[in-house]
């Protein structure tokens, strides 16, 4: 059977082929909408003294980045805003860049010393150095 042969429009194999063709190759979006929240991609490294986090935030200004540390939980959020630069006669053909809120929360293996933490933002990458809190030995209470 050649590839130019007429297909049966009711054959289940042909319907499924059409339905899933390219599904795994590109993300499926209805009506060309963007998801409400994107997840931030991160690399997290650990050594004896601290955690180092590199988070990708392309198109984000450092003023729009928020970092929250609570115990051993790290939360990073930001917002990318759409710059409207439309000229008369221009027609938008395709919009793929993401505009909106991004968020990522992770749990680390040990509590973080917030006072010693530092953050640096350069070329769309947020770098966090999060010192570990000193582990204190368990204290035994005397029951009276």
**What pLDDT is stored for residue 20 in this prediction?**
59
Beta bridge partners of 68: 75
What is the rounded average pLDDT of the residues 64-90? 85
32-48 average pLDDT score: 76
53 pLDDT more than 60: yes
| pLDDT exceeds cutoff 70 at 74 | yes
With bands split at pLDDT 50, 70 and 90, how would you rate the model's confidence at 28? very low
Q: Determine the average pLDDT of the residues in 54-70.
A: 93
What mean pLDDT, rounded, does the chain reach?
79
pLDDT reading at 13 higher than 90:
no
Average pLDDT over residues 56-64: 90
CATH of domain 34-82+98-133: 2.60.40.790
What does the pLDDT average to over 122-134? 94
pTM of the model: 0.64
In the chain, where are the structural domains located? Answer: 34-82+98-133
Letter string b/e over residues 42-77, b meaning 16 or more CB atoms within 10 A of that residue's CB? eeeeeeeebbebebebeebeeeebebebeebebebb
């Amino acid at each position: 059977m050649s590839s130019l042969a007429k297909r049966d429009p009711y054959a289940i194999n042909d319907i499924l082929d059409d339905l899933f063709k390219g599904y795994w190759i590109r993300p499926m979006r209805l009506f060309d909408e963007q998801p409400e929240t994107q997840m931030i991609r991160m690399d997290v490294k650990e050594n004896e003294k601290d955690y180092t986090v590199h988070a990708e935030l392309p198109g984000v200004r450092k003023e729009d980045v928020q970092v929250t540390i609570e115990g051993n939980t790290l939360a990073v959020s930001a917002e990318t805003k759409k710059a409207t630069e439309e000229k008369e006669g221009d027609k938008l053909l395709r919009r793929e860049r993401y505009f909106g809120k991004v968020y990522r929360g992770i749990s680390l293996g040990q509590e973080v010393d917030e006072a010693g933490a530092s953050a640096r933002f350069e070329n769309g990458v947020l770098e966090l150095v999060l010192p570990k809190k000193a582990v204190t030995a368990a204290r035994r209470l005397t029951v009276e």
